[in-house]
Structure 1
Amino acid sequence: MSAETALLKVSHLRTCFHTGSHTIKAVDDVSIEVRSRQIVALVGESGSGKSVTAMSILGLVDPPGIVESGEIWLKGNNLREYSSRQLRKLRGTGMAAIFQDPMNALNPVLTIGRQIMETIKLHKRVSGKEAKRLAMRQMQQAGIGDPEQLFNQYPFQISGGMCQRVMIAIALVTGAHLLIADEPTTALDVTIQAQILEELDRIRCMNEVGILLITHDLGVVAELADYVYVMKSGKIVESGNVFDIFSNPVNPYTKYLMDCR
């Protein structure tokens, strides 16, 4: 797949952290692709470089970290050539992220509705009335059954699973094409995990969104992913169709991950 046809195409990405006399290659020559309506899993143990890969794509690596080389293409545009201001504008309209602890991601002193409306107004010139309409519609699309009631509630008044649905609504409300989901179900109980995974699967089909799912949970991968990249020590050690990876893993590390499961 070319950079022009892929939704996301990362080529030979290298992100390093310079600490005094040492240089740590957190992401070392990583190449991945995500298509529209596809869920691609980036799998590995803690510390393998998964989240740093995500932060590199989003342009959120802070010093002493630096993206040293490689290309990041989103819908045919090379994000490595974007300024910080351009990347800030793109986060929300072109790509967005949800993380593993939605309670901490939301502002505890602002209502759910206000937080979603602020995201809309940051990227679109709309009236307050229109922002509320768009917020309510996106809450429904994120699987929130009673958006009118939730609109005026605070994060501490709702469950972790509902907070994650709110984060999905915020991520997609301004039309992001790429959703990066970094361990989105880790902090949730198993019943709510299944609901959130089902919601992600529905959203990628309904909204034509491509999802990069970062996880260490092979059960989640088996249930949801179309394609898998296995990451170890900052490198991709194996990749393939989810059925091929599970039925015939080639790399010993992939086999170890499955044995742990």
Structure 2
Amino acid sequence: MRILIANVNTTRSMTEMIVAIAQSVAPPDTEIIGITPDLGAESVEGNFESYLAAVGVMSKITTYNQSFDAVIQAGYGEHGREGLQELLDVPVIDITEAAASTAMFLGRRYSVITTLDRTVPLIEDRLVLAGLNERCASVRASGLAVSQLEADSKVAAKAVLRQATLAIEEDRAEVIVLGCGGMAGLDRTIQDRLGVPVVDGVTSAVLIATSLVRLGLKTSKVRTYATPLTKSLSGWPLQLSPTDN
């Protein structure tokens, strides 16, 4: 089984970190391939950068020249998952939805701890769109930029732990969700300190994706995620019709 996991930013070192975390939970017969978009920002922390990431990821995935069984979009609250589902028939898993849905098996309410405050509305909107918001106690910002997560894991853990503690004490959360692909690997540290389940979107998405593949399930092509209509696309990075993929 081959799963493509797409970093939403152009920082290759972060792609490598995400792949390592993903591979650590993947079944032995599963190959994880990291995808880094050529178009986009070095870190995604807002709507403008998120929309760029969506185009960059779709372009990179649809020009990948080998077979694959599923795709994971490793951006928390980012745009683009729906576009990938139109372009592909394999399962497409977004780590936002993977983490939130997993958390709902473990407690009545969950809280998301993310990066900068400006990303909070994007995550809230994504949870509403996915129908996962009703059991979300809160979305809290750690105050750290994505680049800071990569630079110092101890500082990152401390900032996430502070907000996770407040989420439990003030927001009545029972499960903590890590709201950034760059936080992958912090789950065990936070869980050991707090004594509550801590869910990482990258690892959750890997296990969901492999399960869907083993069940023989693919993205529905009826209505919502039907293959895009054939038409000329001016300036699209692929320089071809989506239906050619």
TM over 0.5: no
Q: Which protein has the bigger strand share?
A: 1
TM-score by length of 2: 0.27
Q: Which has the larger radius of gyration?
A: 1
TM-score by length of 1: 0.26
